[in-house]
Structure 1
Amino acid sequence: MDKDDKELKETTEEESFADLFAKSFADQVRLEPGQKVEAKILKISGDWIFLDTGRKGEGVLEAKELLDADGNLTVKEGDTITAWFLGVSHNELRFTTRLGGGSAGQSQLEDAWRNGIPVEGHVEKEIKGGFEVKVGGTVRAFCPYSQISLRRVENAADYIGKRLSFRISEYGENGRNIVLSHRSVLEEERLRQKEEQKETLKEGMIVQGTVTSLRDFGAFISIGSVEGLLPISEIGWSRVKDIHEVLSVGQNVEVVIKQIDWENDKISFSLKDTLADPWDKVALTYPEGSFHTGRVARLAQFGAFVTLDSGVDGLIHISKLGAGKRINHPREVIKEGETVEVKVESVDRENRRLSLSLAEVSRAAEQEERTIEEFRRTAAETSAKTMGTLGDLLKAKLEKGKK
């Protein structure tokens, strides 16, 4: 065998060996381009992140895909991420968390559409019905308003200039008509987080949340990917008339998980349960016979409710409002919002009830009682003295008769 034949044979054997190795490697991994996997980060080294996909051979991912706006990695070794398989290159399993915003060609965008791989896009400007987004470096695409967020877009300018992950929902005319959805990416992430939170969230837990919207009946609170309702009755110990006076959208709150219903996807919270119960110290703060100032909260046919402190209301019965005169309704004597001085008549801690009376009426009644008592005492003393004088005269007369 001459030299040329020998070199040709060696080259052919090398190529055959490489082909066999690649084929063997591909058979082992059994992954198809576009297939989604959950992978654990084994090591972060320079520009590359090495992944454990649960199969033979490590996967690799470009680290730049997981940098934040300041150029810092958003993950660490040991974290689990969602990635899509691109293929085998140089005997390595190549993955992506999204197709980059660089010079991705039309073929890559079409693959992303067919396989559901997210693509990175730059929101260029607002146009009729939504936004113009650049993907693959130069390719123009359209994202409707309804697909840019999980909620209704209040201010389109907030999205201009941002780099976001999108899924291609429509790919037509050989890439000249591309429709994107950022919402689908958010929904998938929220679903993933919700599944994780199902394992950790329990009734009775205290969690940090953010107010996402306000309604007449309560507030919606978001805790990560989960959103639940804070009923207006659970905001505080006192009665809330206008929820906007207590909470605002974007406000951070600490709440207790009151009830979880994963089957119907419902969670209810309580802000009240994180606050001290004012009735724990009512007997000490408002003992029977003490006087206090309060505000008339509301009127009812049978009396007036007076707020002494947050969550502590007492009732002045209608019979104690007329200063001895019969009235048909409390409004004849008192009005809502008025500041009044009251006397605590009785405390029922178990049933959370305070019986009150108007201080001026109570004082007037007490003064009347004192006056009557003083009159009775004086009359008794006078009577005793009179009887004593008559007795003395009678005794003296009897003694004189004996002599």
Structure 2
Amino acid sequence: MTEEFNESMINEVEEGDKVKGTVQQIEDKHVVVHIEGGKFDGIIPISQLSTQHIENANEVVNIGDEIEAFVTKIEQNEESGHYILSKRKLDENLSYEKLQTILDNNETIDAEVTEVVKGGLVVDAGMRGFIPASLISVDYIEDFSDYLGKVLTLKVEELDQANNRVILSHKKVEQETLSTKKDEIMNNISQGDVIEGKVARIANFGAFIDLGGVDGLVHVSELSHDHVKSPEEVVKVGDVVKVKVRAVDREAERISLSIKDTLPSPFEVIDEKFSVGDTVTGKVVRLAQFGAFVEIAPGLQGLVHISQISHEHIGNPDEVLQRGQEVQVKILSIDKEEERISLSIKETIEQVNDFDESYLNQSDSDDDNPTLGDVFGDKLKNFKL
């Protein structure tokens, strides 16, 4: 009778069962739990106490706490016995069920970053989850240490309970957020708007400006009123700049921007630097058949008409000028409305005559005023009427 009774009591709790108990004792490497309706107490090794790595059991439980766990093994002898329990396995099962629901419904989960490891981040998602480096952010992240302790909103990328594998993505959340912002910006932005953005990247043809979810392009010709050879001369990655929207193509999702249009035109402030009649130094920037364009200040170019290049007659400006040459010019006129400047090189050069001016100062004489006789001589003597 006694043996049958003891056997029936032992069979009340079996391996694989889920049991409930109260924490009675906390040791360095395990926890003792009183099992409701069980013949023995339960022991939870520290490795089976949490889905996260812990050093001490009292990091996650206190005496008197109620705990549910799976029975993984029953150890007994003639006098006593105990159940080996796993709270971790139970928590993992519950977490997998929760994560599977989140994955099926395309929802998100918030999880704290508990470790920074080679190749990514470890998070507490109810169990140990991993975010590979490639799924952390849409931006390039050089140092992951700043993420430690942060709570991230994540998407479930992959679940494999058999191999205890949980892969999560923060990048996908960022992409969806950026996509929503991009749609808002594309629907609300208009030609002529002046807004702020951040220089995201630079190419040889211009700079891409992040407007808060969508990039717009400032062509190199729109970076400055001055001539720009390379965008790096004007901006660098990370700069916050003011831009004006020149064009919006919603179908192609393209936005053309200008920094130049937000800056004062050099002609607006030309009166502060130059006046008609001034003689200044400039540089020949372009030659045409009808004249030469000379830059007298960044963004300020004037035309030296071919007739104003030299006192001598020339057929083409390149006979006396070349691109890049520095020249002295006189400002003949300034038209601020039409943004035109007329210049003259000729008027800065003193005219030098190519003949002997002493002839102009000699007084009249008989030699200077010949008669008909002087011209025709003896021929008139033989002439008869």
Bin of the TM-score, shorter chain as denominator length: 0.5 to 0.7
CA 1:108 to 1:353, structure 2 compared with 1: closer, same or farther past 3 Å? same
Paired amino acid for 1:143: P
* Cα contact 2:287–2:322 (8 A) shared by 1: no
Query: 1:105 aligns to what?
Result: 95
**Any unmatched runs of 5+ in structure 1?**
1-101, 384-403
Paired amino acid for 1:114: D
Query: 1:293 aligns to what?
Result: 281
Residue 364 (structure 1) aligned to one of 335, 338, 349: 349
Q: How do 1:213-252 residues align onto structure 2 when only pairs under 5 Å count?
A: 213-252=201-240
Distance 2:218 2:196 in 1: 13
1:344 matched to 2:334: no
* Cα contact 2:279–2:348 (8 A) shared by 1: no
TM-score (norm 2): 0.57
CA 1:111 to 1:217, structure 2 compared with 1: closer, same or farther past 3 Å? same
**Any unmatched runs of 5+ in structure 2?**
1-90, 365-385
1:137-179 deviation digits (Å, cap 9, x = unpaired): 540324242x32224x252446552542221121123472222
Paired amino acid for 2:256: S
* Cα contact 1:126–1:156 (8 A) shared by 2: no
Q: State the 1:210 CA deviation.
A: 0.8
Distance 1:143 1:324 in 2: 76
Distance 1:164 1:175 in 2: 24
Query: Aligned-residue CA RMSD in angstroms?
Result: 3.9
Query: 2:64 aligns to what?
Result: none
Paired amino acid for 2:343: L
1:115 matched to 2:105: yes
* Cα contact 1:283–1:347 (8 A) shared by 2: no
1:131 matched to 2:120: yes
Distance 1:157 1:328 in 2: 65
CA 1:181 to 1:126, structure 2 compared with 1: closer, same or farther past 3 Å? same
* Cα contact 1:210–1:223 (8 A) shared by 2: yes
Q: State the 1:241 CA deviation.
A: 0.9
Query: 1:50 aligns to what?
Result: none
Of Structure 1 and Structure 2, the greater helix share is in 1
Query: 2:298 aligns to what?
Result: 310
SS in 1 for 2:107: coil
Query: 2:130 aligns to what?
Result: 141
CA 1:230 to 1:175, structure 2 compared with 1: closer, same or farther past 3 Å? farther
CA 1:123 to 1:243, structure 2 compared with 1: closer, same or farther past 3 Å? farther
Distance 1:237 1:158 in 2: 43
1:19-46 deviation digits (Å, cap 9, x = unpaired): xxxxxxxxxxxxxxxxxxxxxxxxxxxx
SS in 1 for 2:199: strand
1:301-339 deviation digits (Å, cap 9, x = unpaired): 656543222311224467766774869885975563x65
* Cα contact 1:221–1:228 (8 A) shared by 2: yes
